[in-house]
């Protein structure tokens, strides 16, 4: 599984990355957390507001910092 954090490097993007890493760790899953920070790549996801979170290329959250608990719930449903 690939967890993708989309954002240009702002504090909110960094917080979402940390939350995603913690959620993966808490869930005990084997997943790779990848930071996507280049604008053309972010736009390929159709995201207009960052930060955003995608699981295996599918955007699940956009425009806010999802909590660790929210990300855990998303991962459980993936």
Q: Where are the domains of the chain?
A: 2-77
Task: Please name every residue paired with 36 in a beta bridge, in sequence order, or none if there are none.
Answer: 6
Q: How far is CA 56 from CA 10, 11, 51, 75, in A?
A: 23, 24, 16, 11
Catalytic residue numbers?
10, 13
Q: Which whole number is the average pLDDT over 59-66?
A: 97
Residue 77's pLDDT is what? Answer: 86
2-77 CATH, one of 1.10.238.10, 3.50.50.60, 3.40.1710.10, 3.40.30.10? 3.40.30.10
Give the tens place of pLDDT for each residue, 29-52.
899 999 999 999 999 999 989 999
| pLDDT tens digits, one per residue of 5-34 | 999 989 999 999 999 999 999 999 899 999
How sure is the predictor about 2, in pLDDT bands with cuts at 50, 70 and 90? very high
Residue range 66-73: average pLDDT?
A: 97
């Amino acid at each position: 599984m690939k967890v993708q954090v989309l954002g240009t490097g702002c504090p909110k993007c960094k917080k979402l990355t940390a939350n995603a890493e913690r959620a993966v760790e808490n869930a005990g899953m084997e997943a790779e957390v990848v930071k996507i920070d280049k604008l053309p790549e972010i736009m390929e996801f159709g995201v207009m507001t960052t930060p955003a979170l995608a699981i295996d290329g599918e955007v699940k959250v956009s425009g806010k910092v999802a909590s660790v608990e929210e990300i855990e719930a998303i991962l459980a449903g993936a």
